[in-house]
Amino acid sequence: MKKYFVIGNPIDHSLSPKLHNHWLTINNIKAIYDRKKINEADLRSIISQVKEKKINGINVTVPFKKTVIPYLDQLSPEAEQTQSVNTIILSNGNLVGHNTDIAGFTKAIKALNFNIEGKKVFILGAGGVVPSIIFALKKMNVSQIIVSNRTKKKAEDLKLRFKNLEILNWGDITDFDVIINATSLGLNEETINLDFSKSINNKLFYDVIYNPAETNFLNEAKKLGNKTENGRLMFIYQAFEAFKLWHGIEPQINSEVLKILNND
Ligand code: ATR
C-alpha cells in the first residue's frame, strides 16, 4: 500500500490526513496518509525514504518548509522563488519540491467575489507562508504590498526576494484595500492590537487561520461591515494541488469536504 505523510512540529492539529484519506477512499486509491511529528535531525532520513520508494509523497508544514530544501534534488520554479516547499514527490528518480500554497491562496482568492487586481494589500506577519502569499499576490497584479511583522528583520529579509515591498513597523497601520493576517495571533484567544475602526466597508479581511473559523480579527472586521474570509479554502486547495501531483486526479471539493474541515 502506498504511504504519504505530512511532517511538521507541532503536527497534532493538522487536518491533512482527514482530507487526503477522504479523497483516497472516494477515489478508490489504495494508499494511506498519516502525520509524523519530526525534529530537524530526522529530515534527512525521512526524505531518503521517498527516494527509496518506502514513502510515496510528503507534505511539509511549519517549521520545515525551508529547511527541507537541502535534502531535495530539484525545486519547482515557485518553490525556488519562495524558498518554500510543502509537497515532495519522486519524479524520474529525483526528489522534487513543490509549493502548492501559492495555488492554494490564488484559488481561494479567485473563489471570492472580489477583484484583487490593482488593490493595495497589507500583510501582517512574515512567517513561513508569507513568501507564497506575496508570490501569488504579485501574479494577481495587486498594486502594492505592505508587510508588517513583530520581528522587523524578517520582513526586511523578504525584500531581498521580492521587489517593491514596503515594510511597516509592527503596531503601525496604513490605508489598504485588503488585509491579510498571516501571524499565528488568533489561533488561541490572542488578539491583534491594531485599531481597524477607520477601515469601514468593502475592505477584504483575510485570515490564513481556519480553526477557529472566525478569529477576533475577522469578527471585528465583519462588525465594521467588511468582507471576511478565513483560510479554509486555501488549505483545501493546497491539498487539492498536492493530491493532483501525487495521484494525477483532481479530487472533489464539495460540502462533504468542507464539513471535514469544520471543528470536530
Ligand atoms: P515562523 O515564524 O517560524 O515561520 P509561522 O507560524 O510561520 O512561524 O509565523 C508566525 C508569525 O506570527 C510570525 O510572523 C510571528 O512574528 P515573529 O516573526 O515576530 O515571530 C507572528 N507572531 C507570533 N506570535 C506573535 C505575537 N504575539 N505578536 C505578533 N506577532 C506574532
Mutate which of 153, 183, 208 for ligand 1? The one with the most ligand atoms within 8 Å of its CB, which is 183
- 146 vs 191, higher pLDDT: 146
Percent of the chain residues topping a pLDDT of 90: 88
Atom of ligand 1 nearest to the CA of 124: 14
State the virtual CA torsion across 242, 246, 251, 255 in degrees, nearest 10. -50
Instruction: Just list the catalytic residues.
Output: 65
Phi, psi of 210 (to 5 degrees): -125, -5
Average pLDDT, the chain: 95
Q: What does DSSP assign to residue 40?
A: G
- pTM for the complete prediction? 0.95
Taking residues 37-51, report their average pLDDT.
Answer: 98
* Residue 137 banded pLDDT, cuts 50, 70, 90: very high
Lowest-confidence range among 41-55, 74-88, 189-203, 221-235?
189-203
What is the model's pLDDT at position 263?
A: 60
Q: Which residues line ligand 1 (CB under 6 A)?
A: 62-63, 125-129, 149-151, 154, 183-185
* Residue 211 banded pLDDT, cuts 50, 70, 90: confident
Residue type, 174: T
Measured by CA distance, the residue closest to atom 28 of ligand 1 is 150
Phi, psi of 158 (to 5 degrees): -65, -30
What is the model's pLDDT at position 193?
A: 85
Measured by CA distance, the residue closest to atom 18 of ligand 1 is 151
Atom of ligand 1 nearest to the CA of 190: 27
Whether the CB-CB separation of 19 and 239 falls below 8 Å is answered with yes
Taking residues 90-100, report their average pLDDT.
Answer: 98
Taking residues 20-28, report their average pLDDT.
Answer: 98
Lowest-confidence range among 36-45, 87-96, 115-124, 182-191?
182-191
> 32 pLDDT exceeds 90?
yes
Distance 10 CA to ligand 1 centre (A): 15
Residues in the chain: 264
Whether the CB-CB separation of 107 and 132 falls below 8 Å is answered with no
Can you list the domains of the chain with their CATH numbers? 2-99 (3.40.50.10860), 102-232 (3.40.50.720)
